[in-house]
Amino acid sequence: MAALEQSEAEAAEGVGGRLRQVRQIFGLTQRELARRAGVTNGAISLIEQNRVSPSISSLKKILDGIPMSLAEFFTLDLSPSESVFFLAGELTEIAFGERISFRMVGRRVKTCSLQMLHETYQPGADTGEAMLRHEGEEAGVVTRGRLLVTVGDQERLLGPGDAYYFRSQIPHRFRNCSEEPCEVVSANSPPSF
59 counts as binding a copy of itself under rule CB under 8 A: yes
SS3 at position 97 = coil
- Kindly tell me which residue out of 74, 92, 102, 117 binds a copy of itself, with binding defined by CB under 8 A: 74
Q: Is 30 in the site for DNA (CB under 7 A)?
A: yes
Minimum CB distance to DNA, residue 58 (Å): 3
What is the spatial distance between Cα 137 and Cα 169, in angstroms, rounded to a whole number?
8
User: What order do you get walking across the sheet with 172-175 strand by strand?
Assistant: 154-158, 147-151, 172-175
- Report CA-CA distances (Å) from 130 to 23, 26, 52, 127: 17, 12, 33, 8
Binding of DNA by 5 (CB under 7 A): no
Number of residues that bind a copy of itself (CB under 8 A): 21
Least separation, in Å, of the C-beta of 72 and a copy of itself?
9
Q: Using the minimum distance from each CB to a copy of itself, give the nearer residue, 5 or 93.
A: 5
Enclosing H/E stretch for 21: helix 14-25
- 64 scored as a contact of DNA (CB under 7 A): no
Please identify which residue in 13, 17, 36, 53 interacts with DNA, judged by CB under 7 A.
Answer: 53
Q: How far is it, in rounded angstroms, from Cα 162 to Cα 183?
A: 12
From candidates 47, 114, 139, 158, binder to DNA by CB under 7 A = 47
At residue 101, φ and ψ (nearest 5 deg) are -145, 135
Binding of DNA by 54 (CB under 7 A): yes
Strand 137-144 and strand 182-189: the pairing is: antiparallel
Question: Which positions lie near a copy of itself, rule CB under 8 A?
Answer: 3-4, 6, 15, 52-60, 69-71, 73-75, 111, 190
